Amino acid sequence: MLVQQIINGIVVGSVYALTAMGATLVYGIMRILDISNAGAYAIGAYVAFFFLLQTGSPLVALVTGVALTAVFGFLVQKFLYAPLMNKSPNVSLIAGIGLFIFLQDFLRLVAGPQARELNFGTLLPSIQFPSLQLTLYGTWFLILAATALLLLILWLLLNRSPIGLAWRATAQDLETAKAMGINTNRVVAFNFILGYGFAAVAGILVGILYNSVYPTMGDVPAYKMLAVIVLGGLGNPLGTVLAALVIGMAETLIGGYVGFFLPRDAIAFVVLILILLWRPQGLLGRRRSS
Amino acid sequence: MYEQVVAINIGLAMLLAMSLNIITGFAGQPTLGHAAFYGIGAYTSALLTAKAGWPFLLALPAAGLVAAVVGVLLGLFSVRVREDFLAVTTIGINFVVVAIFQYVELFGASLGLAVPKPVLFGLRFGNTEILILLVILNILVYLFIRHLPTSWLGLALGGVRNEEDAAASLGVNPDHYKVFAFGIGTFIAGMTGSVYAHFMGFISSSDFAFPVSVGVLSMAVLGGLGTVSGPLLGAVILTLSPEVFRFVSDYRMLVYGGLLVLMMRFQPQGLIGDDSFLRRKWIGLFSRGKGGE
Amino acid sequence: MVDSEVLLEVRGLKKHFGGLKAVDGVDLTLKRGETLGLIGPNGAGKTTFFNMVCGFYTPTEGTIRLKGEEIQGLPAHAVARKGIARTFQITKVFKDMTVQDNLLAAFALKQAPTLLSSLRRSHTRQNLEHVQAYLERVDIAAFAKVKAGDLSLGYMRRLEIARALALEPVLLMLDEPCAGLSKDATLDFIELVHKLRASGTTIMLVEHNMAVATALCDRMTVLSYGVKIAEGTPQQVQNNQAVIDAYLGEAEEGE
């Protein structure tokens, strides 16, 4: 039972890591909290749902879902966030919330308010260990494998590629990077394409895990992912993964095993507030210099 | 009467937008969980009158005080964390507070709470009395906010909002002033919650959920954060628009989200903020012949 | 016995950031009415030293006495209340407020020392006249109603100095006041400091540019790698071999 909960916690944490990674990347460069990233999460799932319905091919659905959402990310940064870069961070924060509300309602109007099935068929079989009261679901493996693969690709991109070097320089200090001749506009664009692509993957995987997509599916991730990236120290991809696992684990263990008087979705924020009281700079964040 | 109810809703929204303006507009502290304090005030007042038998006139300031105590705690927290963290933490507080209302027996859990109508000197409060009370509260809060820009408090908050270090170099303790702003703003939100509870006669946790906070912030932003009367304008527009545009009510959230995006993209200083479209028109109308520099 | 001539006395001041010894045991004495220049090559620890005196950094070790009273480790706002006013290397005016309100904010130190008293009205006729007088002293009275963020850099500097003076400090501290200024603005500024000296203001300034420091100061203290390497009149310091070496070394590294 405990083993089951722990593995479940890791799976939930992986989903959170994927969901929050897009916003982490965006924060790393732009220093803005991009709530509309959770809109991309729902859009990715819906595009995949649509193409699955049309073509019946899970592969086409996955690729188009991710690709079209990434293009959407490019457009969002070009027409919304890039022009707001020198304004107060409150401005882009509220713009992001507005865009998120807009996208959610747009999906509701286009696809209807009800939940739809996202059935990719059985991709991997489940394994049961009746003597241990343990069931390992096929979708769990799928999510763990996808998370590990994507994080590896991300790590390689950021640490072993020219654009990754530019990314890290820009994340350090955008103005200096620009002065050093780095094309920061390209880095910002790349960042959004990657960030929204990640959100789409997360949305599709969650759609598969619960076999459903619905317009407000981004609601809880939108705010929970903020808790995750803040806890991870804001803009630090490794910190985000760690924080996602801490929150995923806390939710499943406290919620499912110990029992808690508050609903599961409030736990993330209770954990966030407690940890920030202890470490105001986040789990892996550096203390600010005064 | 329908008009009275709309007027009451506008009165409540104006109080909330003005109180948020003190924290976010004047002190420059982002807050995305204002509805939590609105809710704390509402539940405090409901419990004090329904369960403890307090008269409404005592419960009203008590609701403000309880909200302010939590607000001061949030303020003390805010001086420890970075600005970006604060925005997210205030969202978190909103979620946690709503979850507590929804799950704890004392607060009626998912059933909500019934709130008695106030009685004052034998007069039972109807909508007319609530409306008069709201007008009085709005005038008081408005006078306070109008006084702010020409007060030491306004100057100190302006210093903290612009350059915390420079404010400190003038002998201003930034932490004290931030916490003070949180205290004042949440006190007003708490009182507003009390009025709301007694107007509705029934409250439940969803009345104070996160979208309400976003709505209040949007009102202040739409009118112009940090301006004296901008948030009032924003409150009127955003409260009236769903009433006026009933025929497109199905697209309400779509229009609302789109409006926020467009405002931020093209008029982030708000409708009557510095150099806004409306202000330029206004100045053009009233100070003719005064050329540029 | 406290020497009434001595305003500021720093003993054995140290600031270590991890392994980096930014300031490593500096002594310094400042007399009333004096203008002291704190100079040295980049990374010498001048700004760190400066920030410790103003309360923006807590010293690792050492004492700072103002009029005999220990003030090290006090927060910046408390140091300001003790009578030390400062400007910033990168000017920090309150950009979205008018020039007038920027200056008026400094009066709160005396007129609104507590939270409750801050609820009182600040824009009284008397205060506004006072503001005008301070703005005239630095020749920016014409911009009283302009947003501070719209001023040129040179005027922002003047506003910052006027704001610091409005605190009526016993010690005025200027952090690289000429950085980024044009030649004309620098000359104007030197004239302004001469006016302040003539009025008896005690000044400590951090300056990277030796020529500017020479024009402004009665006395100089030279820091290099966190320690004091020379002290004296501008002439004495200029002829000091250790100082020449420190600056030469920097010139070579800068090539």
On the CB side of B225, how many CA atoms lie within 13 Å of its CA? 27
- Test B150 with C118 for CB contact under 8 angstroms: no
What is the Cα–Cα distance from A40 to A218, expressed in whole angstroms?
A: 8
**Beta carbons of A24 and A225 less than 8 angstroms apart:** no
What is the Cα–Cα distance from C14 to C48, expressed in whole angstroms?
A: 10
Residue of B nearest to A82 (CA): B265
**How many structural domains comprise chain B?**
1
C85 DSSP β-pair partners: C172
What is the Cα–Cα distance from A136 to A127, expressed in whole angstroms?
A: 5
Residues in chain A with CB shorter than 8 Å from the CB of B268 are 84, 87-88, 91
Buried b (16+ CB within 10 A) or exposed e, A63-72: ebbbebbbeb
Selection from B40, B94, B76 nearest residue A277 by Cα: B76
What is the Cα–Cα distance from C233 to C239, expressed in whole angstroms?
A: 10
Side chain identity, residue C183: K
**How many structural domains comprise chain A?**
1
- Chains with at least 3 CB pairs less than 8 angstroms from chain A: B
- Test B259 with A98 for CB contact under 8 angstroms: yes
- Test A105 with B89 for CB contact under 8 angstroms: no
Which residue out of B169, B177, B274, B276 would a mutagenesis test of the C interface target, given it has the greatest number of C Cβ atoms within 10 Å?
B169
What is the Cα–Cα distance from A88 to B270, expressed in whole angstroms?
A: 13
CB pairs under 8 A between A and B: 132
What is the Cα–Cα distance from B148 to C120, expressed in whole angstroms?
A: 9
Q: Flag whether pLDDT at B281 surpasses 90.
A: no
**Beta carbons of C171 and C7 less than 8 angstroms apart:** yes
3-state secondary structure C106-122: HHHHHHCCCCHHHHCEC
Average pLDDT in the B21-38 region? 93
Which residues of chain B from 19 to 78 reach within 8 Å of chain C, CB to CB? Answer: none
Low-confidence ranges of chain C (pLDDT < 50): 1-2, 254-255
- Test A266 with B257 for CB contact under 8 angstroms: no
Cβ-nearest to B89 among A31, A92, A272: A272
DSSP structure string for A128-179 = EEGGGTEEE-HHHHHHHHHHHHHHHHHHHHHHHSHHHHHHHHHHH-HHHHHH
Residue of B nearest to C108 (CA): B152
Selection from B207, A252, B151, B124 nearest residue C108 by Cα: B151
In a domain, A144, yes or no: yes
For the segment B84-126, what is each residue's pLDDT rounded down to a tens digit?
778 888 888 998 899 899 888 888 877 888 888 887 777 788 8
Burial of B249 (0-12, 13-18, 19+ CB in 10 A): exposed
Q: Flag whether pLDDT at A163 surpasses 90.
A: no
B196's CB contacts (< 8 A; 6+ apart) are B12, B38, B42, B203, B207
pLDDT mean across residues, chain A: 84
For the segment B54-67, what is each residue's pLDDT rounded down to a tens digit?
999 999 999 999 99
Side chain identity, residue B242: P
Q: What's CA C95's distance to the chain center, in Å?
A: 20
Residues in chain C with CB shorter than 8 Å from the CB of B27 are none
Amino acid C52: pLDDT? 94
Classify strands C219-224 and C35-39 as parallel, antiparallel or unpaired: parallel
Range of the domain at B122: 2-286
> Chain A within 8 Å of B109 (Cβ-Cβ)?
no
Q: Flag whether pLDDT at A232 surpasses 90.
A: no
Selection from C61, C34, C41, C39 nearest residue C50 by Cα: C39
Residues in chain C with CB shorter than 8 Å from the CB of B167 are 77, 94, 105
Identify the residue with better confidence: C50 or B79: C50
- Test A266 with B251 for CB contact under 8 angstroms: no
What is the Cα–Cα distance from A34 to A81, expressed in whole angstroms?
A: 9
The whole-angstrom distance between B119's CA and the closest CA on chain C is: 34
Residue of B nearest to C112 (CA): B152
Which residue out of B101, B169, B210, B260 would a mutagenesis test of the A interface target, given it has the greatest number of A Cβ atoms within 10 Å?
B260
What is the Cα–Cα distance from B174 to B177, expressed in whole angstroms?
A: 5
To the nearest 5 percent, what fractions of chain B are helix, strand and coil?
75, 5, 20
Q: Grade residue B293 by pLDDT with cuts at 50, 70 and 90.
A: very low
> Chain A within 8 Å of B277 (Cβ-Cβ)?
no
**Beta carbons of C64 and C53 less than 8 angstroms apart:** yes
Crossing angle for the helix pair A162-172 and A2-30, to the nearest 10 degrees: 80
Q: Side by side, which strands form the sheet with C6-17?
A: C20-31, C6-17, C61-66, C69-70
> Chain C within 8 Å of B2 (Cβ-Cβ)?
no
For the segment A106-161, what is each residue's pLDDT rounded down to a tens digit?
999 988 888 888 777 766 677 777 776 777 777 888 888 888 998 898 888 888 88
In this structure, how many other beta carbons lie within 10 angstroms of the beta carbon of residue B51? Answer: 10
Q: Considering chain A, what percentage of its residues have pLDDT values greater than 70?
A: 93
The whole-angstrom distance between B156's CA and the closest CA on chain A is: 20
What is the Cα–Cα distance from B4 to C229, expressed in whole angstroms?
A: 78
In a domain, B293, yes or no: no
Selection from C75, C73, C81, C199 nearest residue C134 by Cα: C199
B274's CB contacts (< 8 A; 6+ apart) are C96, C147
Cβ-nearest to B81 among A31, A103, A280: A280
Which residue out of B140, B144, B152 would a mutagenesis test of the C interface target, given it has the greatest number of C Cβ atoms within 10 Å?
B152
- Test A80 with B265 for CB contact under 8 angstroms: yes
Instruction: Report residue A19: phi and psi, to 5°.
Output: -65, -40
Q: What's CA A46's distance to the chain center, in Å?
A: 16
Classify strands B119-120 and B123-124 as parallel, antiparallel or unpaired: antiparallel
End-to-end CA gap in chain C: 50
What is the Cα–Cα distance from A110 to A107, expressed in whole angstroms?
A: 5
Q: Grade residue B275 by pLDDT with cuts at 50, 70 and 90.
A: low
Q: Which tokens in the block code for residue C18?
A: 């991890």
Residues in chain B with CB shorter than 8 Å from the CB of C81 are 171
C147 DSSP β-pair partners: C98
Q: What is the CA radius of gyration of chain B?
A: 19
Average pLDDT in the A60-72 region? 93
Cβ-nearest to A269 among B83, B95, B261: B95
What CATH number is attached to the domain comprising B122?
1.10.3470
Which residues of chain B from 2 to 31 reach within 8 Å of chain A, CB to CB? Answer: 24, 30
Q: Which tokens in the block code for residue B165?
A: 């270090």
The whole-angstrom distance between A282's CA and the closest CA on chain B is: 9
Cβ-nearest to B265 among A83, A103, A223: A83
Selection from B178, B187, B176, B194 nearest residue B141 by Cα: B187
Residues in chain B with CB shorter than 8 Å from the CB of A261 are 103-104
What is the Cα–Cα distance from B251 to C82, expressed in whole angstroms?
A: 60
Largest Cα span, chain C? 57
What is the Cα–Cα distance from C192 to A73, expressed in whole angstroms?
A: 53
What is the Cα–Cα distance from A43 to A196, expressed in whole angstroms?
A: 10
Q: Is the dihedral of CA A219, A222, A227, A232 positive or negative?
A: positive
The whole-angstrom distance between B96's CA and the closest CA on chain A is: 5
Q: Which tokens in the block code for residue C64?
A: 């700072």
* Lowest model confidence (mean pLDDT) among A61-65, B22-26, B265-269: B265-269
Look up tokens 């709005």; give the residue.
Answer: B138
Phi-psi domain of B58 (left: phi exceeds 0; alpha: psi -120 through 50; beta: other): alpha
What is the Cα–Cα distance from B41 to B55, expressed in whole angstroms?
A: 15
- Chains with at least 3 CB pairs less than 8 angstroms from chain B: A, C
Residue of B nearest to A76 (CA): B261
- Kindly state the DSSP code that residue C83 receives in the 8-state scheme: T
Coil vs helix vs strand at B23:
helix
In a domain, B26, yes or no: yes
**Beta carbons of B88 and A227 less than 8 angstroms apart:** yes
- Chains with at least 3 CB pairs less than 8 angstroms from chain C: B
C6-254: in CATH 3.40.50.300: yes
Instruction: State how far the alpha carbon of B70 is from the alpha carbons of A266, B90, B167, B185, B208, in Å.
Output: 18, 12, 26, 11, 15
In a domain, B151, yes or no: yes
Q: Considering chain B, what percentage of its residues have pLDDT values greater than 70?
A: 92
DSSP structure string for B208-222 = GSHHHHHHHHHHHHH
In a domain, A279, yes or no: no
Selection from A160, A156, A153, A185 nearest residue A78 by Cα: A185
Selection from B13, B17, B8 nearest residue B272 by Cα: B17
The whole-angstrom distance between C9's CA and the closest CA on chain B is: 20
Residues in chain B with CB shorter than 8 Å from the CB of A275 are none
Side chain identity, residue C57: Y
> Chain A within 8 Å of B81 (Cβ-Cβ)?
yes
Q: Flag whether pLDDT at A93 surpasses 80.
A: yes
Instruction: State how far the alpha carbon of B17 is from the alpha carbons of A100, B55, B235, B276, in Å.
Output: 22, 27, 7, 19
Which residue out of A35, A86, A97, A261 would a mutagenesis test of the B interface target, given it has the greatest number of B Cβ atoms within 10 Å?
A97
**Beta carbons of C47 and C215 less than 8 angstroms apart:** no
Strands (E), B96-254: 113-114, 119-120, 123-124, 202-203
For the segment B162-173, what is each residue's pLDDT rounded down to a tens digit?
999 999 999 999
> Chain C within 8 Å of B152 (Cβ-Cβ)?
yes
The whole-angstrom distance between C205's CA and the closest CA on chain B is: 16
Residues in chain B with CB shorter than 8 Å from the CB of A280 are 80-82, 85
3-state secondary structure B59-91: HHHHHHHHHHHHHHHHHHHHCCCCHHHHHHHHH
Residues in chain B with CB shorter than 8 Å from the CB of C105 are 155-156, 158-159, 167, 170, 172
What is the Cα–Cα distance from A145 to A160, expressed in whole angstroms?
A: 21
Q: What is the CA angle B210-B214-B220, rounded to 5? A: 145
What is the Cα–Cα distance from A197 to C141, expressed in whole angstroms?
A: 55
**Beta carbons of C28 and C12 less than 8 angstroms apart:** no
Coil vs helix vs strand at B194:
helix
Residues in chain B with CB shorter than 8 Å from the CB of C175 are none
**Beta carbons of B191 and B64 less than 8 angstroms apart:** yes
